[in-house]
Amino acid sequence: MKIERFEDVHCWQEARKLVNLVYQAIKKSKDFQKDIGLYGRITAATVSSMSNIAEGFSRRSNNEFIRYLFISKSSATEVQSEAYVALDQKYITEETFHHIYEQAEIVSKLDSGLITYLLQHQSSSKPKKHNKPKKL
């Protein structure tokens, strides 16, 4: 299967799930909603993870896509760190923390897998011309 649109990229699909988990957690906690600093940081990081996959996909080279995948990976790790703050402040439950943390880990690993794949298939062609890498 060829990847023709950014929506076809598995790590983007999983990053979208992460975005939804974070927003659901915020909606459930009035205290989380009131912590504008943390709210802003964690939503920005989670949306950044998803958006950088899409933006990198639209670039004209694998090197550019790789660069944006690294940003996505870093943003997913930032979400994990900020989830600890939300947990420590009792804005989220242990269960919610683990769901967010594990979903961010999935995104990070998929980003890494796609980075590895693209590095092994270095060329100046657009990323969408490659066959879809195996799911991790």
> Per-domain residue ranges for the chain?
6-122
The pLDDT of residue 120? 92
**Superfamily holding 6-122:** 23S rRNA-intervening sequence (1.20.1440.60)
Full DSSP string of 46-57: HHHHHHHHHHHH
In our burial notation (b when 16+ CB lie closer than 10 A, e otherwise), range 37-46 reads ebbebbbebb
pLDDT along the chain (136 residues), means of 10: 88 98 98 97 98 94 95 98 98 98 98 95 56 56
Alpha-carbon distances of 13 from 1, 6, 7, 88, 104, rounded to whole Å: 16, 9, 7, 29, 12
The pLDDT of residue 134? 57
The pLDDT of residue 121? 86
The pLDDT of residue 107? 98
The pLDDT of residue 124? 46
